[in-house]
Structures are given as structure tokens and as C-alpha cells.
A and B are shown apart, each in its own frame.
Chain A
Amino acid sequence: MNSEQTPLLSGRQLERRFGGLLAVSELDIDLYPGEILGLIGPNGAGKSTTFNLLSGFYPPTGGELYVMGERCTGKSPTKISRKGLVRTFQHGSLMPSMSVRDNILLGTMHQLSGRRRIERIARTEETAEMLGLSAFLEEVAGVLPHGLQRLVSIGIAFASRPKILCLDEPLTGLNHTEASSALHVFERIRGEFGCSILLVEHNMKAVMKICDRMVVLHHGKPIAAGRAEDIQSNEEVISIYLGRLDDE
């Protein structure tokens, strides 16, 4: 969709080597405004490496990265985040010893820096409300149940009101109700705030349901890209990955 628009995020022939191991190569990826893009692939396909490349945690060993139309190849995570790309992590994506309030507040700190304390507090509360965390603001984040911790980590990232939100397996370990309410939150983030989302997720039903387009990685290379329906019927994808859908 929107292929005539300029992409917010684009990777061109991105490559990352670790010594002799080629973790990701020949990766072309584009994220358009208002889009939810799924990045899928079996374990070890290079999804996390891709995330680290796009968010600046790993500098690419080849190719180019553009965020909001600007060349960001080799820029630090902080610089890329200030362009409007914020990510979550698969594990421990929050500050465990701090309250939920302080966790979310941290997300507002850079974007609302200077003498804007009141705005930061309002933004924190608005974010908590949206994620259904208002009742837990004063709790210590590290002792909350897993599902709530996942929401807090999304809250931290979303509190900075990014233009691109990269979520690394946000549904892992959530039960059915929690997962569907999280999907609802993603829809709201996109719908009400016009934020584009890049989603890495193992829960195939959820990915199929929410993503406009998908990129399938295998052995570090993209083997298919396109709309969910097309991916579902792609022979190669079915053989390496989606075959698992029937088992689930």
C-alpha cells in the first residue's frame, strides 16, 4: 500500500556480519506512513539482528539505512531515536526497580525536555490510560505480572510519541485476552497517533490479523514480501515457516 509515498524507514541492501557469520544480508525493507509491517521468520532467521540494525544498536557492515528520509547508516541508537524511531526489546524492556509511572515518564523525557514538567506528567498519564495501566502507576514495574510488564515496555516506547514504533515480540507470553487487547492498543496507536509499526512476532494468527504487509526472513535474507494474503499462499514461505500454522 501507499507505494507512491516516501517510506519513513528504509533499509537498502542492509548487511550484518559477525566474523564469518552472515547474520543478515540483501535486506531491503520499507515502512510507509500509517502502516503496520510484520517481520516474520523462523528462529535464527535474523529478525532480532534486523531490529538492531534498524535501531542503530548494530552498525551495518553493508548497505544503507534511512530514517524519516535522512541517511542514518552507522548513527547511534540515541540519534536514530531522536529522528522518531523507538523500539522495544524482546527481554527486559523496562526499568525493574522503578515505578510504572517513572518508567513511562522516562519515555517523555527527551521529547518533552526543558521546563515542561506538567506536560510530561500529563503525557505519562495519557499513555498509561491508553494501555490500561492507570491503576498500576505507583507499582514497582519489576514485580508486575508478565503481561503488564509487556504493556509497560510498550508504554515507555510510545510515551516518546515516535513516528515509527518497532516492537520485538510484544505478544510473547501473553494469554489470549491480553494478546487481543494488546492488538487493540496497536490499532489505536496507529489510528489515533498516525504512528507506523514494525512488528516482529511469533504469534502468526495475530500477525496475519493486524499487519498490512509482511516481510519473511530466512537465513538472514528476505524470501518474500507483500500483503498478508499473498504471503499466506506463497509456496516457499509455507514450506519453511507457515506450515506450522496447521499445527497450532
Chain B
Amino acid sequence: MANYQIPSWVIFSIFAVLASQYFSGSHSASILNSIAIAALLAGSLRFVMLIGELNFAIAAFVGIGAYSAGVATTMLDISFFLAILTSGVAASLISMVFGSITLRSGGPYFLLIGFAFTEAMRIVYSKTDVLGQTSGMVGIFPPIEFDDWLSLFVIIICLGLLFLMYVIEKSQFGTIFKSIRDNSDVTRTVGINVLYWKVVCFAIASFCAGIAGALQAFVNNVISPGDFGYLLAVFALAYVKVGGESSIAGSILGAIFLVVLSEFALALGAGEHIFYGAAIVIAVLFMREGIVGLVSSTISWITKTRASKEERV
């Protein structure tokens, strides 16, 4: 296998897991949950960006995951772990059908179809009796034994899936995905079935999105159609862009930054979204590589100045 360097974000994540135990208060725990789920969403959106597509259908697959978990837990009495797995698999299977039809197009067309699918799914939830129509589903609880551990569990699952996406990206599958983004014609001419690999990439990302939806359902205990509108995809894009698109660490940093920012902004009521807008504008104008780019250019600046100082001495 390839030499996977342990990325700095893995070390950093271990701190996050420890932090989840330290901040056992319910409010800080809920922020940690939100960050973990947001990071997973950002990771999933970014994963499809590897093949060069902006996946606005992510919100639909998060919704499918959340509602699958809701149905599995409240109606079918399926166990907690199996319910989470089912959510991922359901989202992934539906995404394969959706992807094999829609990924024949690309760019703005794919984005618009994803947007339409998200909105259509939202209407499906709000018109379906068993899914609680517009009021959604309630009582999606994890088992009682998990009360103290839910936060830790959520963080571990999210990090595990982010790590899975990292490994795939660094493997030769990642090379195929990026080559489709860079030049799908050349990829085609060396015998690679571009549509097949696009669907594979999409299905993996949707599996993660489905799991994120299930975790969100278990964390909040309540879901409603309004949670899974296209804004969810916009937020995920904001995490990716503000954090920096070049690595998964960017998705995690973006999620931390914007979720914490929105906690402070909650006091402003409906005005909180203005912070997302401002953060995106600042990121696009002043830090094209996001937080990750800012950090790495700062580090290289420090080492350079240090080296030149040492030279003078």
C-alpha cells in the first residue's frame, strides 16, 4: 500500500475526542456534535468535488439518511447501529440510481438537478403521512446506555468516515476521480468508464451523507422536512470553501470555524446567516485556499524568516 503519512488532522482529531469527554456539559456536547456532523457533510460534498461536480443533492441524501433512521427506530424497532448503517446504505443505493441518470450531464446541469431533487424530496417528506408530513418525526432516541457516550460516538463515526474518504482519495481510486475532474476525455481514451467511477464516487459520498443524516436525527431526536432544504448544501459548501478545498483538514477547520461562529451569532436571531455570507466573501476575496492555505502560508513565512535570521547570524 502507499505510504499514508499520518495527517495532522488525525492528531488534532484525537484531541477532539478527548475534548468531547472533557466538555461533558450538554451545550458544549451539542456544539461538538454539530461540528462533527458539519465536518462529515463538508467532507462528503468535497469528495464529489474530486470528480469536479458540485453536489447540491447532498441535502436530499442527508434527509434520506435521517428519515431512514427515523423510520427504522420509531416504526421498525431496528437496533441503533443497524439503523445508522441502514441510513447510509439507503442513501447510497438511491444515489446510485440518481447518479447513473444525472451524472451523464455535469457542471451547472448537475448542480441544478441536485437542487431540484433536494426540493422534490423535501416535498415528498412533507406530503407523506407516515413521515409526519410537515411536522416531521419525533422520538428518534439512541439507546439509554448511549446517553453519556453519544457525543463520543458521533465524533468517532464522523472521523472514521472522514478518514475513509481520505484513504480513498490518496489511493489510486482518488487518481481516477481527479483525472475525471481534470480531463474526462483523456480518462475515457485510456479505457476507464467515466460514468461508472463518477457513480462510485457519488455513492461513497452519499453513504457518508446518509450516515450524517442519521446521526443528526439521533442527536436532535426530532427531524422535519425544513432541516433538509438546499441551505444545508450551501452551508456544506461554505465549510469547504472557508476551510480550504485542497484537503479534508480544510473541511474540518471550516466546520469548526463556522459552527462556533454561528453559536456566537445566535444572539442575533435570524441575522445569523449574515455571518456565513461574510465568511464566504472574506474567504473568496482574501484567502482563496481557505484557512488551511492561510495556516500553511503562515508556517512557511515563519520558517523562511527564521532561516534568513539564522543565515545572518
Contacts and interface: CB of A to CB of B under 8 A. Distances in A.
Interface of A: 55, 57, 76-78, 81-82, 86-89, 92-98, 102-103, 105-107, 109-111, 117, 120, 153, 156-157, 159-160
Contacts of B185: 57, 77, 89
B178 A81 contact: no
Contacts of B181: 97
Interface string B47-80: 0000000000000000000000000000000000
A122 to B, nearest CB: 14
A120 B171 CA distance: 13
A201 B299 CA distance: 49
Interface string B174-212: 011011011101111111111000000000000000000
Contact of A109 (B176, B178, B189): B176
Given A105-B175, A106-B175, A117-B172, A78 B182 contact: no
Contacts of B179: 95, 98, 102-103, 106
A86 B190 contact: yes
Interface of B: 172, 175-176, 178-179, 181-183, 185-194
Interface centre among A77, A78, A82, A86 (most CB of B within 10 A): A78
Contacts of B191: 78, 81-82, 86, 109-111, 160
A109 B172 contact: yes
Given A102-B175, A106-B176, A117-B172, A96 B182 contact: yes
Contacts of A77: 185, 188-189
Nearest to A158: B190
A78 B172 contact: no
B182 A97 contact: yes
Nearest to A108: B190
Contacts of B187: 95, 106
SS of B interface (majority): helix
Contacts, number: 79
A98 B190 contact: no
A100 B264 CA distance: 46
A106 B192 contact: yes
B172 A95 contact: no
Given A105-B172, A109-B172, A117-B172, A94 B183 contact: yes
B222 to A, nearest CB: 43
B59 to A, nearest CB: 28
Contacts of B176: 106, 109
A156 B182 CA distance: 14
A72 to B, nearest CB: 14
Given A86-B191, A94-B182, A110-B192, 7 more contacts: A57-B185, A86-B189, A97-B181, A102-B178, A105-B172, A106-B176, A109-B176
A78 B175 contact: no
Contacts of A88: 189
A92 B183 CA distance: 8
Contacts of A105: 172, 175
Q: Which 8 A-B pairs have the closest CB atoms?
A: A110-B191, A95-B182, A81-B191, A77-B188, A82-B191, A107-B190, A160-B190, A95-B179
B283 to A, nearest CB: 20
A110 B295 CA distance: 38
A110 B190 CA distance: 7
Contacts of A87: 189
A98 B186 contact: no
A172 to B, nearest CB: 17
Nearest to A83: B191
A91 to B, nearest CB: 10
B238 to A, nearest CB: 23
Contacts of B183: 92-96
A97 B49 CA distance: 14
B190 A159 contact: yes
A98 to B, nearest CB: 6
Interface centre among B176, B188, B193, B194 (most CB of A within 10 A): B188
Contact of A156 (B172, B190, B193, B194): B190
Contact of B178 (A89, A95, A153, A156): A95
B245 to A, nearest CB: 12
Contact of B190 (A92, A102, A120, A157): A157
20 contacts: A76-B188, A77-B185, A77-B189, A78-B191, A81-B190, A82-B191, A86-B189, A86-B191, A89-B186, A94-B182, A95-B186, A97-B178, A102-B175, A105-B175, A106-B176, A106-B179, A106-B186, A107-B190, A109-B191, A157-B189
